[in-house]
Amino acid sequence: MLIIRPIRSTDLAALYQIAQESGHGFTSLPVNEELLRRKIARVEASFDKQVDKPFDEGYLMVLEDTETNEVVGTCGIEAAVGMVDAFYHYRLGTEVYHSEQIDVRNEVETLTLCHDYTGAAEFCTLFLRNSYRKNNTGRMLSRSRFLFLAQHAERFGETVIAEMRGESDAEGNSPFYGWLQKNFLGIDFVEADYLSGLGKKAFMAEMMPKNAVYVCLLPEEAQKVIGEVHANTRPALNLLHAEGFRFRGYVDIFDGGPTVECNVNDIRAVRESRVLTVTIADTPLDATNYIVANTQLKNYRATAAKITVSQDHNNVILNAETAAGLMVAEGEQVRVLAM
């Protein structure tokens, strides 16, 4: 059985291995054991914390194969970004130049450094091992976050964002980053990305261009990848599009990948998920595939299961194995979402 649960300190070795497997551009999981240990401690403190409004909490879950006790994936939500460390983006804009005297009008695209998403919640740290990328497991892992968000909405910013990984080659070199390295930062993409993941962001404020950058002055290869996603990230972007997330002109400052956003109440899965009362019985023949999560916080559990939902009585039939995996008993509640 595959169960999603909050990460814990005993998962450090598994998280380190995932950080190694995730490759370049996965900023939220640098290959650094001490940083990952602190990350897990922060998550555990966030699950323990009483929250009146979101601040700097982080909620990282892991996907565990209960047959092998192996951690095979991760997914996370940041409660409110930029409240402690600066959260940078480039905002795409347009400057208009017009002269009646020479009868010329030009529209020039610009990139302006900004902190516009400060306070927004963020979907992040989605990773699934190759051998488990089948049977809609990746979809279940990603969408399980919507159930957690719906159940604990008071813990998150009203706008939810997701940064999509931009174009880079097998060695981690970004076409967009090349001009920035040459003219401003002087360090390569992998190092800059790693420092950002460590939370060491002072160099950004010190070295990034302060004024708007004219896109037309960038190398052609850099211009082409602005707002484009890495091939491995396109399925995740398609899933978010289906949930109502849209690109509003914000891109990553290092690889130019797009950031998409949606108001929490406009996310399709948040609107369509339902809280139902549990009946424990054998799986009926007419059962269908759902993502099912308990309504707890510290003991949050989610999985994919065949269940039967009663439209008339607001209850759901779970078999004993699923109920045990979700840590729910007869008469308790779960939140469900059709796969």
Structure tokens at 252: 């990553």
Residue 139, φ and ψ in degrees, nearest 5: -65, -45
pLDDT digits (tens, 9 = 90+) for 215-233: 999 999 999 999 999 888 8
124 strand-pairing partners: 76
Q: Is 230 a catalytic residue?
A: yes
pLDDT at position 5 is 97
Distance of CA 263 to the CA centre of its chain: 15
183 or 93: which leads in pLDDT: 93
User: Quick one: average pLDDT of 263-268?
Assistant: 95
Residue ranges and CATH numbers for the domains of the chain are 2-89+115-269 (3.40.630.30), 273-338 (2.40.40.20)
Catalytic residue among 115, 230, 241, 313: 230
Instruction: Tell me the CA distances in angstroms from 223 to 105, 111, 215, 220, 256, one per residue in order.
Output: 21, 11, 7, 5, 9
Residue 218 vs residues 1, 100, 213, 253, 284: alpha-carbon distances, Å: 50, 28, 8, 14, 60
Q: How confident is the model at residue 25 (pLDDT cuts 50, 70, 90)?
A: low
Strands 302-309 and 288-294, by their bridges, are antiparallel
Q: What's this model's pTM, rounded to 2 decimal places?
A: 0.88
Residue 23: pLDDT band (50, 70, 90) is low
Q: What are phi and psi of 84, to 5 degrees?
A: -115, -60
Question: Are the beta carbons of 281 and 244 closer than 8 angstroms?
Answer: no
- List, for residues 66-105, the tens digit of each pLDDT value: 999 999 999 999 999 999 888 999 999 999 999 999 999 9
Q: Residue 164: which of 270, 254, 82 has the closest Cα? A: 254
CA-closest candidate to residue 145, choices 165, 129, 117, 121: 121
Adjacent-strand bridge partners of 161? 122, 261
Residues counted in the chain: 339
Q: Which two tokens stand for residue 123?
A: 């979907």
Q: Tell me the two tokens of residue 198.
A: 């460590």
Place of tokens 């997330």: 245
pLDDT of 308 higher than 90: no
